[in-house]
A and B are shown apart, each in its own frame.
Chain A
Amino acid sequence: MVAPVPLRVVRCGGSALHGARAVFSADSKYLLCAAGDFVKMYSLATEETLQLMGGHADRVTGIQLNPRNHMQLYSSSLDGSIKLWDFMDGIPIKTFSVGPKLLALYALASCEDSVFVIVPKSGERDTFQLVSVKLTKAAGQDVEAKELAVVLDGVDASPKHTAFGREGEYVASVKELNLQVYFFKQKQLNRFSVSATKTKGGNNHFTCIACHPTEDCIATGSADGKIRLWRNFYHKKEYTFSTLHWHHDTVMDLAFSIEGTSLLSGGVESVLVLWRNESDCQKDFLPRLGSPIEYISVSPDGALCCTLHADNRITIVNSNLRFSKSIQGLIKSADVKTGLVVDPRTKALVLNGEPGHLQFYCLQSDQQLFSLDIVQRQYIHQAGLNQADLVKVAFSARGKWLATVEEREEVTDPELQLKLWFYDEETQSFKLNTRINMPHEDHITDVCFRDMDELEDDSLILVTTGRDCVFKVWVMVEDTDPEAQQSVSWSCDFVGSYHNYQATNCCFSEDGSLLAVSFEETVTVWDSVTWDLKCTFCHPPGKIRSICFGRLMCSKYLIGATDYGFLCCWNLLSCALEWSAHLNILVLQPDPLSEYIAAVSWLSKESSLFVFKPNEPRPIYIQRNLCKEKIQLAAFVPRDEPEMIGSEKYLWLRRSQLFFLTDTQ
C-alpha cells in the first residue's frame, strides 16, 4: 500500500460568483470576480478563466483595482485580511492583516495609501462602520495594518449600500430609510430620510446606492423598485430628488456609466434598464437575462458592462445594450432533486439547473457546458405556484440514453412524466424519444438503467420504482407505426411487487444479471432475464436508504444502508449477511471504475467519510470531521487520465452552495 497522504479538501468550483461587484481591468480585456475564497480572472475575449487566485481563508467580499497601479488588485475577505495581487501573473504581492471581518472594500484614487472597508463595530452586534485602513509601506509579504479611522458609523453591511462620490469628495451610505452623506473636505455629515411606505409587496427600504462620476448626484434604489436621484444634498433642507420608476420589485444594483450620462439598474425582473439623461421617458431595456441581477459593473472604457446573476452567471453587455457574452457557473437550484449524476459521455456533472432544466456542468473549467430543457414549459416567476420540476435522472452506460422523471407537486395526485431521450450524434444533443405519462400511480423513487457496456442496444433495460408499491421494467420495442420517424420506442415489460411494500431503490449488478430492489425494510434480488424473485435480505430495524452492488472483484456482494444506522453487506452466493457496521450513512456511492465504495456518515453534527471495499469489513480510509455541514449528495467523476496513486476522485455537494473535490490515496 502506498503511504497514506493526508486528505486535502479543496474547494473546486461552483462557488457563488456574486460575492462582490466584478471589476474590469484597466484595459477592459479582463474581468475579475470574487468567487468564494478565490478571485477569478476571466478573459473577456474568450470567456476563459485565466487566473484563479487563492489564498484567503474565507469568502472574498470585495475586490478593487489598485488606483495607483492598474495591474494590481486589492481583495478583502471575511478572514480579516486585505491582499494585494498582481493579477496578470496571479501572485499575491502583499497581505495586510487588519483583524476584524472585512465586509466590503473601496479604494480611492485620491487617498494615497489607505483603503476603506466596512467592519463590524466592536462590542455591538449587527452594527457596522465604514473605516479607512492605512496600508503601511513596510517591506515584507505579510504586513499588519491596524491603523483604522472611523469614517461613518451605522452603515449597512452590504457593499452595495455605500458608495464614494465624485473624485472621492464625499461618501454616501444608505441604511433602511436613511441616507447619510459625509463630505471629507468640509467634514460635514448630512442625513436625509424618506418616510416609510408599506405596500402589499413590501417596504421602501434602500437597497443600493451609486454616485455620479462627475457631478454631485447620488442614485439610490429601494425595495419598492424606485430609483431616486438626489441632488443639492449639501443643503440640509433644500436638497431635492427625482424618481425613476420602472422596476416592480427591489432594485438590486445601480451603476452610472463612465461619463455619467446614463444609469444602469437591475433587479429580480432579470431586465437591465438603461436610463438616459436621468429621464423617466428615455430608457432602454435588455430583457430576458435569465435570472435576477445581483451586481452591475461598468468597464473603464465604457464599452462594456457586466451583470452578475443570482444563478452564478456573468453576462457581458455592450454599451449599446446588446447581449455579448455570458459565463455560466454552476447553477444552485433550490433543491437538487436529481442528485449528482455523471454524464458518461462528457464526464460532466449533471443536476438540476434552471427550473425544469438539466445542467451539464464541467468540473474542470467550472463552467456550464449546456442546459437541456426537460420540462419544456414556460416557467412563471411567481412564488407559491406548483410548477413541474425534474426529479430523477439516469444515463445508460455510454450516455446514449437519458431517462428523466418530472413531476408537478399536487397534494392529491402528482402529475408524473417519464421521458426517454436519445443522444443524436448529428446534432450533438439529446432528442426526446418516448414520453410516458403517469408511469407510476405515485411518486417515482428511483430510476436505473442496466449498465452493460457490450450489450448496449438490444438489451437495454430501464427500471423504475415507485411509491405505488411496484417496480416497472421498461424495454425498447420496434415501432410498428409506419408514420413514426423513429424506429424504437419504450414500453413496459414487467411489473413486480413484493408484499405490497413501497419500492424505494433499485440497482443492477455489474453484469446485469441481477436486479436488486428494496421494498422498505427488505431487499429483493430478481433475475433480470426471467424476472423471478431470487432471494430476499432483511436487516431490521430500519428501512433501506440505499443499496448498491459491489463491482469487479467484489461483485458477489450487495451493500445496503438503513435508516437506523446500519451498513450491511450481504453475500449473494451464500445469501447471508457478510458483515454489518453501525453507521448513520447518508450517502453511499460506488466508484464505477474500481471496487471502492464511499460512504458518508452523519454523526453528532459532522460528516465523516468512509471508503471501503465490500469484501473487507474494515474501511480502507476514514476521514472524520470532513465538514460541519450535512453532505447530501456525492458522485464519483472518472478522471481523464488515471493518476499515479489510486485514481479516484469523488465529489460531493453539501447543503450550502460550495463544492468539494477530495483526493484519496
Chain B
Amino acid sequence: MGEFEVHRVRFFGLVPAGVRCLACPPRGSRLALARTDGAVEVWNCAANYFQEKVIPGHEARSVEALCWAVGERLFGAGLSGEITEYDLGRLRASCSLDGGGGPIWSMAANSSGTQLAIGCEDGSVKLFQVVPGGIQFERNLDRRKGRILCLSWHPSDTHIAAGSIDAFRVLDVSSGQTVQRIMVNYQVQKVKRECVVWSIAFLSCGTVVTSDSFGRVQFWDWERGTLLESHTVSTSAVLSLAVSEKEDSIVVGTSTGATYQFQLLPVKMGSLEKRWVRTKPFQHHTHDVRAVAHSSTALISGGLDAQLVIRPLMEKIQKKSYDAALRKFTFPHRRLVSCARKARLLLFQFSQHLELWRLGSTDETGKDGEVLPLCRMPEHLLQLKSKGPEHIYCSCVSPCGGWVAYSTASRFHLYRVQYEGDSISIKKVPKVPKLLSPAYQLQFSSDSSSLFVASARGSVHVLQLLEPGGCRHLHTLRPPSGCPEAVYLLAPSADGHWLAAVGGDWVIHIYNLKCFKHHCMVPTYDCAVSAVAIHPVTNNLVIAYSDQQLFEFSIPKKQYTAWSRTVQNCGLHKLWLERDSPITHIAFNPKNPSHILLHDTYMFCVLDKSLPLPDDSAPLMNQSTLKQLPESMRQRQLHAFKICKKFQPLLFADLLDENCLVMVERPIMDIKTQLPLPVQQKKFGT
C-alpha cells in the first residue's frame, strides 16, 4: 500500500443540520430534502442516492414544507410566510410570493401537481395555482382559529384534510367550507395537555390518518366523524407520517428517533376485511424524526440528528442489489475542505464562515501504525465570516495558500492572504468581476495563478490572479452545445493545460486552457459524477461515478484508456460496488504514477493500476491478512485495491507531498455531543 505520514485532522467542527422535511414525487426518482438551516437538497434515488443538488440555506428562509409540482418543479414554504420556487438548474431560489397568512407551517400539492395548498399560522388554508414562471393566489378556504400544522389532499382533489391543535378539519375544495371538524383528544379530555396533530394523510377510501403529540396514530372515517382505529406507538410525539402510493403501507416517525411501519393486512386469509397493523419498528435515529417518505421500495426517514436513512422493503425488491441494503447518510457528498498543499493549510467551509488552519508538524519518524508526537500544534489562522443572511455555496484556498475565495448566492469574495513570520494579514480583493454569482465550485490552478469559477449554464469563468492582490476576468468557457445546468465539479491539470468541468447533466467537458477552447466531451455515462481529477503525469482524467464505477479517460487521445476498458470488461468487485457512500475526492501520487488515491466517507483506497483486479471470490479488504503472509505468498494475493478503513468518517483526504497524507475526520460521536439531548428513554439494564 505504501507508507505515508498521515495527518489525522479532527478539528473540523462540522455539525450537519438536521433534516426538516422530505418530499418524494409520486413518480420519479428525485427526493427533495430540506434542512433546519434552510438548505434544500435533491437526492437522486436512481443514482445510488447521490446528493445531486444542494441549494445552501438562508438565515431568513426556513423551510417547513417542500412539494413537487407539475413538471418537476420544487416549491418550499416556511415560517417567513413566503412560498419559494427553487430553480434546480441554477440552484437558487427563483421566485417567492408572500402567502399572506403569517408563517406557513404546511404545504401540499394536489395529485396532479397543479395546485398548492398552504396552512398558515392564522388558521387559514390558501390555494395557489402553479403557473409557468411561478404561482398565483387562487382563493382562501374557510378560516378557523389555530395554526394549520399539516395538510393533505384527497387523491381525487375534492377535499383537503388540515391538522391543527386538538383537532383536524376536512375542507371541501370547491365550496371552501369546513365540512367536518374532529377533536382528536376527545377520549383524553381530562388531560389538560394540548394534542398537536403533527401530520395527516387523506386516503382515497375516505380514511384520514393522523399522528399526534400523544404518540398515537389514528384512523378516522371523516364523513361520520368516527375513530376507526387507534394505535399508540410511542410515549412521545409521532411527528411525521407518509403513505405509500398503493395506500397499503404507512411509515411514521417519532420524537424518540424510532420509525414504525403500518401495513394494511387482511385479517383472515382470503377475506376482504383488512386492518392496519403496526409491523416493523426501526430505531436508526437518535433524535426527532421530523420527516418521513415512502417510496415504492423503501422507507425514507430524516431526523434532527442530520441522518437520512433509507430502509429498503425487502419484499418489494426482486433481486439483491445496491437497493437491498440499509443506507444511512450523514455527511454531504461534496467537498467542504480545501487544502493548500504547498503551504500545508486547510480551509474548512461552514454554513456561514470559513476557517483556515495550518497543519501541525513533527520532526520524528516512526514505524507503521505509530502515533508521532507533534512539535508544532495545528494552528487556527483565521476565521472569515460571511456577511449577510446567505449561506456559503463553495470555497477554496490556493495551493500556495495566498488566496482564499468563497461564494454565496449573490456575491463572490476573493481574499489575498499574506504570511509574515507568525503574523497573518488578509486583504479583500476589490473589484471582482460582477458576472460570477453564484459560483458553484471554485478551483485554483496548481501554480496559483488563476482561479476557475464554476457557474450557471455550464460555463466556467477563468480569472487571472494578479500580484499584489487583484484579479482579471480572462475568459469564459462554455460547452459548445449549451447546458441548462450549473457546473458542480472542476478539475484542472497540474501542468495548467487542461480543465475538466462536470455539469448538472453529468456531462464532462474538457477545455484546453492554452487556447481557451473546448477540447472534447467524455462519452456520456448515465450516472452522477461524484469526483474527477486529472493525472499530473499522463493527463488522464479519472472519473468516479456515484454507482461506484471508475473510468480513466485519456485527454490527449480523447478516448478511454486501456486500463479503463479492462476495468469495464472485468467489472469491479461486488463489495466495491455495494459500498455506501460515493468517492468524493481523487488524488495522485507523483512518485508512483500508477497509483490513484480515492476516498469516500468510510474508507481510503490506493488503487494500483499495475496490479491485477480482484475477482468476486477474492477478499476485497485484504490489507490486514496480507501483512501476516510471507513475502512470496503476499505477491500472489496482491490486487489493485488497497483499502484502509481505520479512519473515522472521512470528509477529505489529500496527498500533501510524496509521502505525506492529510485526512480530515469527523467522528460521529463528536457530532452527537453537539446535538441537543435526545428524549429521555428508560433503557433496560441501566
A contacts, CB < 8 Å to B: 166, 169, 183, 214-216, 229, 231-232, 234-235, 237-243, 248, 277-282
What 0/1 pattern do residues 336 to 356 of B give for CB contact below 8 A with A?
A: 000000000000000000000
With a cutoff of 8 Å between Cβ atoms, the chain A residues found around residue B373 in the complex are none
Q: A169-B269, A231-B265, A234-B269 are in contact. Are A242 and B281 (CB under 8 A)?
A: yes
Q: Mark B275-305, 1 if CB is under 8 A from A, else 0.
A: 0011111000000000000000000000000
List residues of B (241-267) whose CB comes within 8 Å of A's CBs: 263, 265-267
Picked from A235, A237, A281, the residue with its CB within 8 Å of the CB of B232 is A281
Is residue B437 within 8 Å, beta carbon to beta carbon, of the partner chain?
no
**How long is the Cα–Cα vector from A214 to B215 in the complex, in angstroms?**
28
Instruction: Known contacts A238-B315, A279-B232; decide if A216 and B280 are in contact (CB<8 Å).
Output: no
Contact A248 B684 (CB under 8 A): yes
Contact of B268 among A216, A277, A280 (CB under 8 A): A216
Apart from A183-B269, A278-B278, list 14 A-B contacts with CB within 8 A. Answer: A215-B267, A215-B268, A216-B266, A231-B263, A231-B265, A231-B279, A232-B263, A232-B265, A239-B315, A240-B263, A242-B281, A248-B684, A279-B233, A282-B232
Residues of B contacting A243 in the complex (Cβ-Cβ under 8 angstroms): 281
Whether, in the assembled complex, B114 has its beta carbon less than 8 Å from a beta carbon of chain A, the answer is no
Cβ–Cβ contact A240 & B279, under 8 A: yes
Q: Is the CB of A241 within 8 A of B279?
A: yes
Which residues of A sit under 8 angstroms from B269, Cβ to Cβ? 169, 183, 216, 234
- Name the residue on B nearest A169 (C-beta): B269
Contact assessment for A281 and B268 in the assembled complex, using a CB-CB cutoff below 8 Å: no
Instruction: Assess whether B387 is interfacial by the CB under 8 Å rule.
Output: no
Whether B232 pairs with A278 at a CB distance below 8 angstroms is: no
Q: State the Cβ distance, B203 to closest chain A Cβ, in Å.
A: 19
A216: which of B263, B267, B685 is its contact (CB, 8 Å)?
B267
Q: Could you say which of B231, B268, B281, B685 has the most chain A C-beta atoms within 10 Å of its C-beta?
A: B268
Name A215's closest neighbour in chain B (CB-CB). Answer: B267
Give the docked Cα–Cα distance between A279 and B267 (Å).
16
Q: Answer yes or no: B476 CB below 8 A from chain A CBs.
A: no
Query: Across the interface, do A166 and B268 meet the contact criterion of CB distance under 8 Å?
Result: yes
* A307 CB to nearest chain B CB (Å): 23
Q: Could you write out 7 A-B pairs with CB less than 8 Å apart?
A: A235-B315, A240-B263, A240-B265, A240-B277, A241-B280, A248-B685, A280-B281
Across the two chains, which residue of chain A brings its CB closest to B268? Answer: A216
Say whether B559 faces chain A, with CB atoms less than 8 Å apart: no
Smallest CB gap from B278: residue in A? A242
Residues of the A chain whose Cβ atoms lie less than 8 Å from the Cβ of B204: none
Chain A residue contacts of B279, Cβ below 8 A: 231, 240-242
In the assembled complex, the Cα of A280 lies from the Cα of B216 at a distance in Å of 12
Contact A231 B268 (CB under 8 A): no
Residues of B contacting A166 in the complex (Cβ-Cβ under 8 angstroms):
268
B538 at the interface (CB under 8 A from A): no
Alpha-carbon distance A280/B215, docked complex (angstroms): 12
Q: A169-B269, A215-B268, A238-B315 are in contact. Are A231 and B234 (CB under 8 A)?
A: no
Q: Give bound CA distance, A239 to B315, whole Å.
A: 8
Residues from chain A with a CB closer than 8 A to the CB of B231 are 277, 279
**What string of 1s and 0s marks CB contacts (under 8 Å) between B366-388 and chain A?**
00000000000000000000000
Cβ of B235 under 8 Å from chain A: yes
Asked if B232 contacts A231 (CB within 8 A), the reply is: no
Inside 8 A of A215's CB, which chain B residues have their CB? 267-268
User: How big is chain B's contact interface, by range?
Assistant: 20 to 34
Chain B residues, CB < 8 A from A229: 277
Q: How far is the CA of A62 from the CA of B187 in the complex (A)?
A: 45
Q: In the complex, A237 Cα to B313 Cα: how many Å? A: 11
- CB pair A240–B233 under 8 Å, yes or no, is no
Tell me which residues across on chain B come within 8 A of A278, comparing CB atoms.
277-278
CB-CB < 8 A to B232: which residues of A? 279, 281-282
Complex contact B234–A281 (CB within 8 A)? yes
Chain B residue, CB-CB nearest to A276 = B232
Q: Which residue of B lies closest to A242 (CB)?
A: B279
Docked pose: A234 CA to B266 CA in angstroms: 11
Q: Which residues of B sit under 8 angstroms from A239, Cβ to Cβ?
A: 315
List residues of B (399-440) whose CB comes within 8 Å of A's CBs.
none
Residues in A with CB closer than 8 Å to B263 are 231-232, 240
Report the separation of the CA atoms of residues A169 and B270 in the bound assembly, to the nearest whole angstrom: 12
Closest to B684 in A: A248
Chain A residues lying within 8 Å of B235, measured Cβ to Cβ, are 281
Given known contacts A242-B277, A278-B278, is B315 in contact with A237 (CB within 8 Å)? yes
Chain B 450-481 near chain A by CB (<8 Å), digits 1 or 0: 00000000000000000000000000000000
State A248–B684 Cα separation when bound (angstroms).
Answer: 8
Given contacts A279-B231, A281-B235, A282-B232, contact A240 B280 (CB under 8 A): yes
Name the residue of chain B whose CB is nearest to the CB of A235. B315
- The answer for the CA separation of A420 and B279 in the assembled complex, in Å, is 59
Chain B positions within 8 Å of A169 at CB level: 269
Could you say which of A231, A237, A238 contacts B277, with CB atoms under 8 Å apart? A231
CB distance from B63 to the nearest CB of A (A): 32
A364 CA to B586 CA in the complex, in Å?
87
**Residues of A contacting B267 in the complex (Cβ-Cβ under 8 angstroms):** 215-216
- Return chain B residues, CB-CB under 8 Å to A242: 277-281
Bound form: Cα–Cα A248–B280 in Å: 20
The residue of chain B having its C-beta at the shortest distance from the C-beta of A225 within the complex is B684
B residues less than 8 Å from A235 (CB atoms): 315
- Lowest 3 A-B CB distances belong to which pairs? A281-B232, A240-B279, A238-B315
Q: How far is the CA of A281 from the CA of B236 in the complex (A)?
A: 11
A68 to B610, CA, bound (A): 81
List the A side residues contacting B684 at CB < 8 Å: 248
In angstroms, Cα B234 to Cα A279, docked, is: 10
Residues B280 and A281 in contact, CB atoms below 8 Å apart: no
Among A216, A248, A278, the most chain B Cβ lie within 10 Å of the Cβ of A216
- In the complex, A241 Cα to B315 Cα: how many Å? 13
Among B222-242, those with CB < 8 Å from A are 231-235
Contact, CB under 8 Å: B233 / A280: yes
The reply to whether B281 and A281 contact each other, CB–CB distance below 8 Å, is: no
Residue with the highest number of chain B CB atoms closer than 10 Å, among A234, A239, A240, A241: A240
Instruction: State the CA gap A234–B267 with chains docked (Å).
Output: 12
Residues of B close to A280: CB separation below 8 A? 233, 278, 281
| B125 → A minimal CB distance (Å) | 32
Q: How far is the CA of A229 from the CA of B277 in the complex (A)?
A: 10
- For A186, the closest partner residue in chain B by CB is B269
Q: A215–B684 Cα gap in the complex (Å)?
A: 32
Q: Which residues of A contact B266 (CB under 8 A)?
A: 216, 232
Inter-chain contacts of B278 with A (CB < 8 A): 242, 278-280
CB distance from B169 to the nearest CB of A (A): 27
Residue on A with the closest CB to B263? A240
List the B side residues contacting A282 at CB < 8 Å. 232
* B234 closest partner in A (C-beta): A281
Query: Which residues of chain A come closer than 8 Å to B277, judged between CB atoms?
Result: 229, 231, 240, 242, 278
Closest to A185 in B: B269
Residue of B nearest to A240 (CB): B279
A277 to B268, CA, bound (A): 17
Distance in angstroms between the alpha carbons of A281 and B231 in the assembled complex: 9
For B233, the closest partner residue in chain A by CB is: A281
A423 to chain B, nearest CB (A): 45
For B233, list chain A residues within 8 Å (CB): 279-281
* Proximity bits, B182-201, A CB within 8 Å = 1, else 0: 00000000000000000000
Give chain A nearest CB distance to B270 CB in angstroms.
9
> Which chain A residue has the least Cβ–Cβ distance from B267?
A215
- Which B residues lie within 8 Å of A279 (CB)? 231-233, 278
Question: In the complex, what distance in Å separates the CA atom of A166 from the CA atom of B263?
Answer: 21
Which residues from chain A contact B685 at a C-beta distance below 8 Å?
A: 248
In the bound complex, CA of A281 to CA of B230 (Å): 12
Complex Cα spacing A187 to B268, Å: 17
Bound-state Cα–Cα, A237 to B266, Å: 15
Given the complex of chains A and B, what is the CA–CA distance between A216 and B233 in angstroms? 22
Give the residues from 577 to 630 in chain B that come closer than 8 angstroms, CB to CB, to chain A.
Answer: none
A214–B281 alpha-carbon span in the complex (Å)? 25
Which residue of chain A has its CB nearest to the CB of B273? A215
Q: Which residues does chain B contribute within 8 Å of A240, judged by CB atoms?
A: 263, 265, 277, 279-280, 315
